[in-house]
Structure 1
Amino acid sequence: MLYLEILGNLPEMARDEVKAMLELAGGEIVSQDYLFLKINADERAFSYLDRLGLAHEYGMLMVEADSVEELLDKAREVEWPIRGTFKVDTETMANCRHSVLDLPRKLGAVIHAQGFKVNLSRPDTLVRVYCGERLYTGIRLRFFDPKDFEKRKAHHRPFFRPISLHPRVSRALVNLTKARRELLDPMMGAGGILMEAGLLGLRVYGVDIRQEMVEGAEMNLRHYGIRDYVLKLGDATRLEELFDKKFEAVATDPPYGTSATLAGRKRDELYQKVLESIYEVLEDGGRLAIAFPTSFDGKAEAERIGFKTLGRYYQRVHKSLERYFYVFEKE
């Protein structure tokens, strides 16, 4: 059994990202306690969980209990798979209903009694305790360092545009499509979504109506070591004319604003035509992850075309931009 801690800024989207990866790995979410997920999966899931964008960490779940006393009793019966030295660290979630102030010391003493050495400054193994409605203890296997994503934010790229999704969100959109081979972004802009897909080893395809974006996206992809890509100058409403193939997955973040960024077209009409165009080039059973401002009813328009809605997640960016991220499937 595994545990996984998701991030709290888009929790429903984060949970569904985990669910999508577990569907590929043959695992499932068993239960949720605030931001803590209990997962039925084994080491075959690691390569998929390592793809996550909206996660904090995952690890091996060792003990779960309804009280501190029960946790300590169970911990005495566990054979702890600790390599080298260890440290106990507590995560007190917003719904914590237990007194855990002294728990790291008490649990550390239990584990130390099995012959393991404590190192509070640079431990080889981190034992994590989560306090929510229940108590959980596990061994951390993977920490998703925020610096890995921060270094790919817009202002760090060689081709810079200030309006761009956070790399974590871009990564989540890719994963929500369940892409395993390839991904198309038909309104790629500076290529942020393609960067995240390419770093996962996917073959990426991008389209933009502006030549400077095509050149800039290629500059960004190459800067981050991505070489398996096809970028085209073209219209996202006429994708069938650009490609003689259908795609496994599509993810995109359309422009929201001015007539300049929309190539002089009315926004809602553009969105409708883009959805229709994506539908035509998507494989049956393929998924689309896309963002729209809340003023546009993406669900109704997509379902009118023939998509099935799998998810919708609200995000307030600032006072003049509120949006939904959608996940659709072509039936």
Structure 2
Amino acid sequence: MMFYVEILGMLPEMAKAEVRALSELGGGEVVGSDYLLVYGNVEDVSVLRRLGLAHEYGILLGSFDSAQDLLEYSSSLEWNKLIKGTFAVRRERMINCSHNVEGLDKKLGAIIHAQGFKVSLSRPDTVVRIYCGERLWLGVRIREFRGKEFDARKADRRPFSRPIALPPRIARAMVNLTRATRELLDPFMGTGGMLIEAGLMGLKVYGIDIREDMVEGAKINLEHYGVKDYVVKVGDATRIKEVFPGKTFEAIATDPPYGTSTTLPMDRDELYRRALESMYEVLEGYLSIAFPADFDAIDVAESIGFKVLDRFYQRVHSSLSRYFYVMKT
């Protein structure tokens, strides 16, 4: 099945990599992109339900050089196989739109309506999508990711809250970048944000934090969001084998403390190096991790044995810039 994903603009390269990772899990691949539209083919499109850094995804019906080509193609489609109930056509002009699309949504709507479907602009059962970029793209939305569902899991909305935590969308993307299908470990779990996102995807989650209050708080948060399949322990991220003796992990996603407002148990760079060594000992697949931009993560990780596959830059504020990395053992 051909699919499209409309990604968020805040971390576009990371968002594209997230789509690539999930496409692999779904038995397919990303074929290309047109600004914030990513497209490809996949055997199991439902895997895209896991997306974090996306506005929506759906079935891709085709791409076109002109509005006339799009309309002619639409006239030949059997819309009864694509539309359930009422419908609406939504048009999106991306920043690189190079076509005149004025009124194109109404013309397409008239074609579909002529096949016997009822229009509902306010609450349609099916949304037909037109995207204008370098080309014109036609699709049918499967799911829209609303901001409020992620906002409900922000740090300040959790029962046990601390001010320093990744936004849920980014945490979810980091989990997806690990290609996890069964389980995930976060050895610096804090209040459990990464584990919440992984648990809501149906993964069994494991967490470690050196502070007992964080472990108890993470349990409260996991239970609050309905995550039941978890194991969280007080422990040292530089000694994972001691916390989970004899256990290896399919995937690890974590956001270590940056040392800006936290007292670290040792020199920051030494903590990172030892933690990476500890993760390497227990990991069987992918690691998704964030580090401050001034830490030489690539050299350290490669000296341990990791293969660094990707990194994505983000300026958080004036005193913090970071990279998100994807590594593999």
For the criterion TM > 0.5, the same-fold answer is yes
* Mapped pair 1:320 → 2:319: yes
Closer/same/farther in 2, CA of residues 53 and 259 from structure 1, 3 Å limit: closer
User: Is the CA contact 2:241–2:278 (under 8 Å) kept in the aligned structure 1?
Assistant: yes
Which residue of the partner structure matches residue 241 of structure 1? 242
Gaps of 5+ in 2: none
TM-fit CA distance, 1:45: 2.6
Q: In 1, distance between residues paired with 2:327 and 2:41?
A: 26
How far is 1:110 from its partner?
1.6
CA distance in 1, matches of 2:176, 2:260: 29
TM-score after normalising by structure 1: 0.96
Provide, for residues 232-254 of structure 1, a one-character-per-residue CA deviation record: whole Å limited to 9, x for no partner. Answer: 11111111111121111111000
How many angstroms apart in 2 are the aligned matches of 1:289 and 1:41? Answer: 23
Cα offsets for 1:149-206 (capped at 9, x unmatched) = 1100001001111111000110111111111111111111111001111111111111
CA distance in 2, matches of 1:159, 1:311: 33
| Residue in 2 that maps onto 1:71 | 70
Question: Does residue 254 of structure 1 match 2:256?
Answer: yes
Structure 1 unaligned spans of 5+: none
1:255–1:261 CA contact under 8 A, matched in 2: no
Count, aligned residues: 325
- Name the aligned partner's letter for residue 164 of structure 1: A
Which position in structure 1 is the counterpart of 2:214? 213
Aligned to 1:126: 127
Q: Work out the CA distance in 2 between the residues paired with 1:154 and 1:260.
A: 17
Structural RMSD (CA) = 1.2
Q: Is structure 2 residue 282 aligned with structure 1 residue 281?
A: yes
Cα distance change of structure 1 residues 129 and 118 upon mapping to structure 2, 3 Å threshold: same
Change (3 A) 1:260 1:116: closer
Is the contact between residue 23 and residue 41 of structure 2 (CA under 8 Å) also seen in structure 1?
A: no
User: Contact 2:87 / 2:118 at 8 angstroms: preserved in 1?
Assistant: yes
Tell me the amino acid that sits aligned with residue 42 of structure 2: A
Identity %: 63
The 8 Å contact of residues 67 and 101 in structure 2, kept in 1 or not, is answered as yes
- Mean CA deviation greater in 106-115 or 188-197: 106-115
State the secondary structure of the residue aligned to 1:148. Answer: helix
Mapped to 2, the partners of 1:105 and 1:260 lie a distance apart of: 56
Report how far residue 72 of structure 1 moved: 1.1
For residues 235 and 35 of structure 2, the distance between their equivalents in structure 1, rounded to whole angstroms, comes to 44
Which secondary structure state, in structure 1, belongs to the residue aligned with residue 121 of structure 2? coil
> What letter matches 2:232 in structure 1?
L
- 8 Å Cα contact 1:7-1:54 kept in structure 2: yes
Q: 1:258 Cα shift?
A: 4.3
1:87–1:108 contact (8 Å) kept in structure 2? yes
Residues 1-331 of structure 1 aligned to structure 2 (within 5 Å)? 1-42=2-43, 44-46=44-46, 48-80=47-79, 81-244=82-245, 245-258=247-260, 260-263=262-265, 265-283=266-284, 286-330=285-329
Cα deviation code 1:96-130 (max 9, x no counterpart): 01111211111111212222222222222111100
